Structures are given as structure tokens and as C-alpha cells.
């Protein structure tokens, strides 16, 4: 009996050494830092795209919404893949860079703020908020100047700008933080005048007055 107990305890202690060894190697590869930051990133992305689609269906009806409302383009995918590559290279070569928790947590807070601003815009504008820019005036398209649109003219874009750049701050990715800021800013700096050309056409002086008293919401875009 005592022999078996001895054998059992030997096996248990050898097992636990082995298990600890496996866990140590596993945690080297997938450290707490990487697990937490990457989980936050994937949750942020999944929540953003699925909620965009669900809101579009809820507001415009399923028959008027396509998978394009998931807002996943080829360029967007490439940017996200680049940012993950940057993350893996940096966590392997300069792991200390990912340990600036105040930076990562600030990014997380801004991701939530950006998401909230964008979703407030979509809900406030309702049917007037379409993922494709309207170039013909439809009857149900009303000028929205209340709620979050009282403070900025493009809360949907401002929210996305904050959200996308902050995903990179959250990952402590310096190159992608700058890259995302430049690319997303340029995209909106071109899109806003184009969108407003039609809004001025649809709503005339009403839009002009609104634009005069309300900032765009995207930095350095008038
Ligand atoms: C993707 S939504 C973005 C809306 C807005 N730019 C924003 O960032 O919240 C684009 C559509 O919203 C419409 N839109 C933009 N501002 C609007 C406003 N203040 N009132 C009504 N429709 C607006 C545009 O005509 C366009 O078809």
C-alpha cells in the first residue's frame, strides 16, 4: 500500500513538473500581456462589425442591407493584418514595449468612447445614416442637427477615427497608431467635402447654417 502511495506521489510530482514546464512554455509564447491585449482587440473588432450590421438591419430592414454593412473592405483587412504582424514582431523583439499598461488602458478607454460616439450617431440619425453616401435626395432623408449632431457634424466618422486609432494604442503599436491615424484621417478628409456637397444640395441654407455653427468632429477638417 505504502509502495503504491509512494509511486503515486512520484508520478504526481513528475506530472506536476511536466505540467508546470508545459505551462511555462505556453505562457512564454502567449503571455498574459499578449492574451489580454489580443483578446481585447478581437472583441473590439467583432463587436464593432456585428453591431454595425445589426443596427443597419434594425434601421433599414434586412432586405435593404447587404454584407457590405459589416464594413470589412480589402484595405481594412490589410491594415488589420499589418497591425497584428507589427504586434507579433514587437512582442517577440521588444516585449517591454507592450508593458506600458497606462498606454494600453488609455487605448481601451478610447476604443469604448469611439464605439459609443459612433453608435450614438447611427441611432440618432436613424434612416438618414446610410453606409453609402446618398447622392439623390430621398423623402425620408431628414437633416439631423439634434443629439450628438448638435456638437459635431460627423460623429459617425469622428467615432470611427477614435475607435480605429485607439485599437492600435491599445496594442501599444507605434507604427500602426501613426499609420492608422494618417490613412483614416485622409479618407475622411476626402469623404467629408464630397458628402457635404450633396447635403448642401439637399438641404440648402439649412445645411449651410448648420455647418457654420458646428465643427466637423474630425481633427483639422473644417
Ligand atoms: C455613413 S453616414 C455618415 C453620417 C455622418 N457623416 C456622420 O459621420 O455621422 C453617410 C450618410 O449620412 C448622411 N448625413 C450626413 N450628415 C447628415 C445629417 N446631419 N443629417 C442627415 N443626413 C446626414 C449623408 O447624406 C450620407 O448619405
pLDDT tens sequence across 199-215 = 999 999 999 999 999 99
C-alpha cell at 73: 473592405
Q: How many whole angstroms from 154 Cα to the centroid of ligand 1?
A: 7
Residue 157 CB neighbour total at 10 angstroms: 25
Which ligand 1 atom lies nearest to the CA of residue 133? 27
**What is the overall mean pLDDT for the chain?**
90
Instruction: Determine which of 24-38, 45-59, 138-152, 206-220 has the lowest per-residue pLDDT on average.
Output: 24-38
pLDDT reported for residue 65:
83
Query: Domain residues of the chain, as ranges?
Result: 38-213
Which ligand 1 atom lies nearest to the CA of residue 122? 9
**Nearest 5°: CA angle at 203, between 192 and 134?**
50
Q: How many whole angstroms from 195 Cα to the centroid of ligand 1?
A: 7
Q: How many whole angstroms from 139 Cα to the centroid of ligand 1?
A: 15
Q: How many whole angstroms from 64 Cα to the centroid of ligand 1?
A: 17
For 173, phi and psi rounded to 5 degrees? -100, 95
CATH annotation of 38-213: 1.20.120.1630
Amino acid at each position: 500500500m505504502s509502495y503504491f502511495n509512494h509511486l503515486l506521489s512520484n508520478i504526481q510530482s513528475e506530472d506536476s513538473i511536466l505540467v508546470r514546464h508545459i505551462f511555462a512554455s505556453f505562457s512564454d509564447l502567449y503571455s498574459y500581456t499578449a492574451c489580454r491585449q489580443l483578446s481585447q482587440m478581437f472583441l473590439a473588432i467583432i463587436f464593432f462589425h456585428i453591431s454595425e450590421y445589426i443596427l443597419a438591419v434594425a434601421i433599414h430592414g434586412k432586405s435593404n442591407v447587404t454584407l457590405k454593412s459589416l464594413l470589412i473592405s480589402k484595405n481594412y483587412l490589410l491594415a488589420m493584418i499589418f497591425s497584428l504582424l507589427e504586434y507579433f514582431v514587437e512582442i517577440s523583439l521588444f516585449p517591454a514595449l507592450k508593458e506600458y499598461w497606462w498606454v494600453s488602458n488609455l487605448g481601451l478607454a478610447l476604443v469604448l468612447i469611439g464605439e459609443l460616439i459612433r453608435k450614438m450617431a447611427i441611432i440618432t440619425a436613424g434612416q438618414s445614416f446610410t453606409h453609402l453616401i446618398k447622392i439623390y435626395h430621398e423623402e425620408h432623408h431628414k437633416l439631423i442637427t439634434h443629439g450628438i449632431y448638435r456638437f459635431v457634424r460627423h460623429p459617425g466618422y469622428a467615432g470611427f477615427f477614435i475607435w480605429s486609432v485607439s485599437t492600435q494604442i491599445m496594442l501599444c503599436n507605434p507604427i500602426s497608431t501613426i499609420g492608422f491615424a494618417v490613412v483614416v484621417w485622409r479618407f475622411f478628409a476626402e469623404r467629408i467635402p464630397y458628402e457635404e456637397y450633396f447635403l448642401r444640395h439637399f438641404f440648402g441654407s439649412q445645411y449651410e447654417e448648420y455647418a457654420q455653427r458646428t465643427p466637423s468632429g474630425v481633427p483639422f477638417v473644417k
